[in-house]
Chain A
Amino acid sequence: DSGVTQTPKHLITATGQRVTLRCSPRSGDLSVYWYQQSLDQGLQFLIQYYNGEERAKGNILERFSAQQFPDLHSELNLSSLELGDSALYFCASSPRRSRITNTEAFFGQGTRLTVV
């Protein structure tokens, strides 16, 4: 158990809908990362938050957004869903941004999103 919790584990929804994925980082970790894993794109970095602020953006679509709350949990919002958004969405956490040297990211179990 990595200590990172993601809910729900599975989600099936229709095209055009909106969903919210939730991530609770390890206790004390301030950084949260979101990744998308699909068969054709591999593991893609989406976005990073540190202590409530956005710190880095990767290949995140405009239809997607995220936030990190004061209690450090994070939510990834996916809207106007398309079939191609079907993927495994991972959240990871790590302790500190400026001291990320000598640490690693711990991954949650992922949320498998299926858009039908």
Chain B
Amino acid sequence: AQSVSQHNHHVILSEAASLELGCNYSYGGTVNLFWYVQYPGQHLQLLLKYFSGDPLVKGIKGFEAEFIKSKFSFNLRKPSVQWSDTAEYFCAVIPISSGSARQLTFGSGTQLTVLP
């Protein structure tokens, strides 16, 4: 079964600092990759997704992520964080090889706290 690892459980940054959240997955085949964000008390919202093509994908609110196939990684980045980015961030993967159950598997999440 596939798994997703997010190495940082809690990240604390000051406003305007740069952000990089790590995500690694374990699945040998083709995958779709996602980053979701969960603001306090809210549901999960899609930040960005990678299906194919350019491995650098841009999402909403200035976030981007880079898919590095050789490293099984899909790290999330933002050049300058804002206080409003305080939230929990989840990396997720769907294997898309034939026969797979298309199960969306999440990492354990990274809580980002941005200090004003």
Do A and B belong to a common assembly? Answer: yes
Chain B: number of interface residues, binned into ranges: 20 to 34
CB contact between A90 and one of B43, B101, B102 (< 8 Å): that residue = B43
Q: Are B43 and A109 in contact (CB under 8 A)?
A: yes
* Total A residues in contact with B, Cβ cutoff 8 Å: 24
Q: Are A45 and B103 in contact (CB under 8 A)?
A: yes
Q: Are B108 and A42 in contact (CB under 8 A)?
A: yes
Interface residues of B (CB under 8 A from A): 32, 34, 36, 42-46, 49, 51, 90, 94, 96, 101-109
- Given A56-B101, A101-B51, A104-B34, check contact A43 B106 (CB 8 Å): yes
- Given A45-B106, A55-B102, check contact A2 B43 (CB 8 Å): yes
Number of residue pairs across A and B with beta carbons under 8 Å? 54
CB contact between A97 and one of B32, B90, B102 (< 8 Å): that residue = B102
C-alpha gap A58/B94 in the complex (Å): 14
CB distance from B74 to the nearest CB of A (A): 14
- Given A42-B109, A43-B109, check contact A105 B104 (CB 8 Å): yes
Q: In the complex, what residues of B have CB within 8 A of residue A102's CB? A: 32, 51
Interface of A, helix, strand, loop or mixed by DSSP: strand
Known: A107-B44, A108-B43. 15 other contacts (CB 8 A): A33-B104, A42-B106, A42-B107, A43-B108, A45-B104, A55-B102, A90-B43, A92-B44, A97-B102, A102-B32, A104-B32, A104-B46, A105-B104, A106-B46, A109-B42
Report 10 cross-chain contacts, Cβ distance below 8 Å, ordered by A residue. Answer: A45-B103, A45-B104, A45-B106, A56-B102, A58-B103, A90-B43, A101-B51, A101-B96, A104-B32, A107-B43
